[in-house]
A and B are shown apart, each in its own frame.
Chain A
Amino acid sequence: EAQVTQNPRYLITVTGKKLTVTCSQNMNHEYMSWYRQDPGLGLRQIYYSMNVEVTDKGDVPEGYKVSRKEKRNFPLILESPSPNQTSLYFCASSLLAVGSYEQYFGPGTRLTVT
């Protein structure tokens, strides 16, 4: 089944403890992206990747890192999480950089930083 998967789905952690949220797609998509969803703010883009080894900042990149060593994987790294990074995170992919291409979303990762 063609899909985007994220792990873990739920995570509770403490301030400063490094964590990684994995994202994988099996559709051979070139474009991948991370969003965070917060009440009243909608979805805001954190980072995106146009292809392997090509990543760039979105609207809210502070406190996050990403890597794209393989086409299928696009992990989101929080080196030193803080409570303001408590949010619902979505990974998405599309065949090419968005234009009229549909973005396929993962199920989301709910992160709580205490």
Chain B
Amino acid sequence: AQRVTQPEKLLSVFKGAPVELKCNYSYSGSPELFWYVQYSRQRLQLLLRHISRESIKGFTADLNKGETSFHLKKPFAQEEDSAMYYCALSGRGETGANNLFFGTGTRLTVIP
């Protein structure tokens, strides 16, 4: 069965420090992985997807199939990065339909 694990509920870093938000997954097929972000008083929105191999707002995430991980990284954290981050996996669920499965989220706080 598909599963997304974000081991850290809370993560605090100082401004300018590197940040890494961990995400591990389990899925029997070939997964498609995403990071969604929810800033204070804003809607949940897509940050990046592994298939695009892009860098958004300085964030990158590499899919490591050997370690079944999709960690989100940024070399220098900014105060505006403070938000709730969700890792998500797109795959077939128990009903056979293709759906999006979310982790429990990590709240990142960047300390000035």
Q: What residues of chain A have their CB less than 8 Å away from a CB belonging to chain B?
A: 33, 35, 40-45, 48, 50, 56-59, 90, 92, 97-100, 102-103, 105-108
Contact = CB atoms under 8 A, between A and B. Distances in A.
Contacts of A90: 44
Contact of A103 (B100, B103, B104): B100
A107 B51 CA distance: 27
Interface string B93-112: 10101111111110000000
14 contacts: A33-B99, A41-B104, A42-B86, A42-B103, A43-B44, A45-B100, A50-B97, A56-B97, A58-B93, A98-B98, A98-B100, A99-B32, A100-B49, A107-B43
B90 A105 contact: no
B43 A106 contact: yes
Interface of B: 6, 9, 32, 36, 43-46, 49, 51, 86, 90, 93, 95, 97-105
B46 A103 contact: yes
B45 A105 contact: yes
B84 to A, nearest CB: 9
Contacts of B90: 98-100
B105 A42 contact: yes
A100 B32 contact: yes
A44 B88 CA distance: 11
B46 A43 contact: no
